[in-house]
Chains A and B, each alone.
Chain A
Amino acid sequence: MSDPATHRAIDAVFRIESARLIAGLARIVRDVGLAEELAQDALVAALEQWPRSGVPDHPGAWLMATAKHRAIDLLRRRRLCERKHEELGREIQARQEVAVQNLEAAIDEDVGDDFLRLMFTACHPVLSAEARVALTLRLLGGLTTEEIARAFLVPEATIVQRIVRAKRTLGEARVPFEVPRGAELAARLASVLEVIYLVFNEGYSATAGDDWARPELCENALRLGRILAELAPEEPEVHGLVALMEIQASRLRARVGPKGEPVLLLDQDRGRWDHLLVRRGLAALERAEALGGAFGPYALQAAIAACHARAAAPAETDWARIAALYDALAQLAPSPVVELNRAVAIAMAFGPAAGLEIVDNLTAEPTLAGYHRLPAVRADFLSKLGRFDEARQEFERAASLTRNSRERELLLEHGAACALGSAPPR
């Protein structure tokens, strides 16, 4: 029992198998919560038996067969749904007659569809965004509640509660275990993509620090995105999201300076970018575009990221193209933050006066009222135009709004430079 090598092997097998196990079981019992319990039971059985018997040749098939036996026991005990029980019995009996190899093949056949069904169920809009995130990481990412809690810096009990409630909500809402079709598909897919990107961003925005647990969230989101791209290859926005994540992840190493401080995109050492991920991202973007999805919201953001990825040096950045892409994005999904980014691109492409014109229209925007980047960007344009007094005021305002102490220092330095009547060093 105490053989650590076997335990580690069981962990690894479970990491590989748990999503397809839960997905396969959910197809049969039509209950995600119950499916997860059965998968856990199978894991416990493996922990009991494998240290004695060794890891079986086909561990996935072993776990699935064990879980299905448990399913019968459980259904019998609970006297649930007589017909479902018979179906299961017949299935198990039939399966027992074929060789293990065939059994594994039979499970494999539906595995992609099952995984998709599970993904759409875990990301159902009936659940809150944070419930979807926790459930997705638990059921599809194979993370423990402890790992999820650590990644999101909340107590484990919170995550446990969140998942329990999410499963209950799915049951009460009688959410069918299926991949939606037709008009519903687009909206439901958007919900899945949103969850994956939320996970990614949670990891990405936290990497400026000493906490190495959180880049793992980026890896988990990428893994889910890459799986989805294989299982739903005809959906351009899936490739768009994967492209966006691959390119952003390629900068993870370069985003943190020697003292753990954040390094902005244009100041990054491009030699430290992960060029394998850049290449993968550009390839995914090409797929999205080839499928006619160049103007999906994720593909557009990926295209913007790609402009930076393609530039060997900041000076080579195609700012006019970035401005045009932000233009398209602003029409598709208008938001003050997109508008602010568009202003930056316009200023880089056509000069600070053009950027300032856009930004001046944003100063009355209530959603940006406490957002430090608005005065910071405005200050930058003003200082480039030689309007140092106004620039100083805006730098100071930005400094008072940011919560990041490193950034505050920098903004105050810029403000001080303006007070002396010179543009802050770039």
Chain B
Amino acid sequence: MRFMVLVKADKNSEAGVLPDEKILTEMGKFNEELAKAGVMLAAEGLHPSSKGARVRFSGGKRTVIDGPFTESKELVAGFWLWQVKSKDEAIEWLKRAPFDQTEVEIRQVFEASDFGEAFTPELREAEARMRAQGAERLKKTPKP
């Protein structure tokens, strides 16, 4: 199963201050360990929210709000995607990460097998039908 590991922003990451060499080295070592264990699928760091934007949806209206955003604890600064056997394994790996003062979140990624028996053939058929209709609609949409 897959887990997304969400690293939260802080004042430094939001200010665009890059981590010092010591942290970078430690993180590099940890990433190498993840890769050598066949756990790491992806790892990305994000620019500060000042380089981002939000689009607010309200009925038919779309409003663009440019960054930065203030509530830095809610902001994501980077993420990993890990392939592991269980949530406990993901937790065990995360405990080994070289963080000091922060809280890092682990979230499981949905996979078809998660639906198990609840994902009945009828549901699957409905989903396939929905996807097919979506594809049809896309085909009918005039190309720009």
Contacts and interface: CB of A to CB of B under 8 A. Distances in A.
Interface residues of B, number: 27
Interface string B89-103: 101110000000000
Contacts of B128: 257-258, 269
A231 B125 CA distance: 43
A258 B88 contact: no
A16 B92 contact: yes
A14 B102 CA distance: 27
A139 B33 CA distance: 19
Contact of B81 (A8, A215, A253, A276): A276
B124 A227 contact: no
B123 to A, nearest CB: 9
Contact of A258 (B35, B92, B113, B125): B125
B8 to A, nearest CB: 23
B36 A271 contact: no
B16 interface: no
Contacts of B39: 223
Nearest to A279: B42
Interface in A8-61: 8-9, 11-13, 15-16, 59
Contact of B83 (A223, A231, A258, A259): A223
Nearest to B125: A258
Interface in B64-96: 81, 83, 85-86, 88-89, 91-93
Interface residues of A, number: 31
Given A257-B128, A272-B131, A223 B38 contact: yes
Contact of B125 (A111, A212, A259): A259
A230 B124 CA distance: 38
Contact of B38 (A212, A227, A269): A227
Contact of A12 (B81, B92, B112): B92
A12 B86 contact: yes
B60 interface: no
Interface string B107-118: 000001100100
B131 A12 contact: no
Contacts of A70: none
A222 interface: yes
- Interface residues of A, dominant DSSP: helix
Contacts of B15: none
Given A9-B88, A258-B121, A258-B124, A226 B38 contact: yes
B24 interface: no
B36 A112 contact: yes
Contacts of B85: 15
B38 A12 contact: no
B31 to A, nearest CB: 11
A259 B92 contact: no
Contact of A276 (B37, B41, B91, B93): B41
B131 A271 contact: yes
B117 to A, nearest CB: 8
A280 interface: yes
Interface string A276-312: 1000100000000000000000000000000000000
B135 A271 contact: yes
Interface string A251-283: 001000111100000000101100010001000
A16 B81 CA distance: 17
Interface of B: 35-39, 41-42, 81, 83, 85-86, 88-89, 91-93, 112-113, 116, 121, 124-125, 127-128, 131-132, 135
Given A111-B36, A223-B39, A259-B121, 5 more contacts: A9-B88, A9-B92, A15-B86, A227-B37, A271-B135
